[in-house]
Amino acid sequence: MTRAARGKPRSRRRTVLVLAVLAALSVAVLSLFRALPVEWPTPVVQLLAFTPWAVFPAAAAAGLAAFSRRTWLGVVAALLLLAQLFWLFPLDFNRYLPRSADTVELPVMSINSRYGQADAAEVVRLVRENGVRLLAVQEHSASLEAALERAGLRGLLPYRISSPTEDAAGSAVYSAYPLEAVGLLPDTPFHMPTIRVTAKAGGLSAVFEVTNVHTLPPVDSRIAQWRHDLAAVGRLGSRPGNRVLLGDFNAGYDHLEFRRLLDAPLAGGTDGRRLVDAGIANNGRLIPTWPMEGMTLPGVVLDHIVTTPEITATGYSVHRVPGSDHAAVIATLAVPGR
């Protein structure tokens, strides 16, 4: 074999080694941000939303490291890949309590309408075809409210509590069951009302409180308000009773602030009970909800349906809605009744 021929495999291995190191290094930096319980500055917080996708460069680094025949690199890359898988499929992902025999089932849906620009006909179609019994809308506007009315939403969900605005602060909750306003989360720029719902089916009655969540996005100096909003939602979720928190959290599981929201002990609980994210519990970590339009980015999960553990959620799904940069999220809740 000539010297040139012997040099080609070596050159390829060097190239593979460089690529493996670069891939592993990028994953290692993101993993460090993810692992440390630190309130990071805005750029890091925004980067952390994309953590689930790090599993792919981590897998590439592991494969390239094996081909490079560098044992140390293979071990590092394998550990990084295991870390991504651990975060992608957390061991305690399903925190639901054993399901009660007496429950009222109702599909619920949430959609950030992007300043009321979401296609009303598509929203109503999703409600009708999925049998949705409760709908939460963020960034609700008077024009969207009128469009939903024309599209026939009242015939499906006749009860409504809404506060439309022409900016991003508006909200609405539509329901097939009677609604009672409980209160508004204080000191938040966007309207986040809590509403008591009484759902009846098959001789059973289930009472729960739903909060239409819309936190400020973590941008520039407003990141402090984002943290405040998430903490306020977490405190609300830890109160006694059956609760549903659904909407645009502008945060994902890889944000420390969102995990704190989920992990806060529930009021009166000494058994380790915590809130449950329906998307995580139903293996939806890689089903993005944003951005559906506009920016070309890997999708991330910012919209959630979070419940107390007595309420189980099945049938989790994500749906594009023209006009909005957020997807609609739907899940069927089983609420304990009596």
> The CATH number of the domain where 249 resides is what?
3.60.10.10
Give the model's pLDDT for residue 162.
98
Tell me how long the chain is.
338
Shared domain for 45 and 123, answered yes or no, is no
Give the model's pLDDT for residue 5.
45
Give pLDDT tens digits for 255-299.
999 999 999 888 765 566 899 999 999 988 889 999 998 777 789
Does residue 303 surpass a pLDDT of 80? yes
Percent of the chain with pLDDT strictly greater than 70: 95
Shared domain for 211 and 259, answered yes or no, is yes
Shared domain for 120 and 21, answered yes or no, is no
Picking from 21, 54, 88, the residue at the C-terminal end of a domain is 88
Tokens describing residue 61: 């680094």
The domain total for the chain is 2
- The residue that leads in pLDDT, 293 or 186, is 186
In terms of residue numbers, what domain contains 291?
103-336
Shared domain for 189 and 270, answered yes or no, is yes
Does residue 173 surpass a pLDDT of 70? yes
What is the Cα–Cα distance from 259 to 278, expressed in whole angstroms?
14
Shared domain for 330 and 224, answered yes or no, is yes
Picking from 34, 58, 88, the residue at the C-terminal end of a domain is 88
Question: Residue 98 falls within a domain, yes or no?
Answer: no
Low-confidence winner among 91-100, 103-112, 262-271 (lowest mean pLDDT): 262-271
> For the chain, what is the mean pLDDT?
93
Shared domain for 212 and 66, answered yes or no, is no
Low-confidence winner among 225-239, 286-300, 315-329 (lowest mean pLDDT): 286-300
Question: Residue 56 falls within a domain, yes or no?
Answer: yes
Shared domain for 145 and 65, answered yes or no, is no
Picking from 88, 122, 156, the residue at the C-terminal end of a domain is 88
Residue matched to tokens 């969102």: 258
Give the model's pLDDT for residue 14.
85
Does residue 13 surpass a pLDDT of 90? no
Whether omega before 291 lies within 30 degrees of 0, making that bond cis, reads yes
Give yes or no for a contact between 69 and 12, defined as CB atoms under 8 angstroms apart: no
Does residue 324 surpass a pLDDT of 90? yes
pTM, to two decimals: 0.93
Question: Residue 94 falls within a domain, yes or no?
Answer: no
Give the model's pLDDT for residue 269.
59
Shared domain for 151 and 239, answered yes or no, is yes
Give the model's pLDDT for residue 46.
96
Shared domain for 228 and 300, answered yes or no, is yes
What secondary structure, in 3-state letters, does the chain show? CCHHHHHHHHHHHHHHHHHHHHHHHHHHHHHHHHHCCCCCCHHHHHHHCCHHHHHHHHHHHHHHHHHHCCHHHHHHHHHHHHHHHHHHCCCCCCCCCCCCCCEEEEEEEEEECCCCCCCHHHHHHHHHHCCCCEEEEECCCHHHHHHHHHCCHHHHCCEEEEECCCCCCCEEEEECCCEEEEEECCCCCCCCEEEEEEEEECCEEEEEEEEEEECCCCCHHHHHHHHHHHHHHHHHHCCCCCEEEEEECCCCCCCHHHHHHHHCCCCCCCCCCCCEEHHHHCCCCCCCCECCCCCCCCCECCEEEEECCCCEEEEEEEECCCCCCCCEEEEEEEEECC
Does residue 2 surpass a pLDDT of 60? no
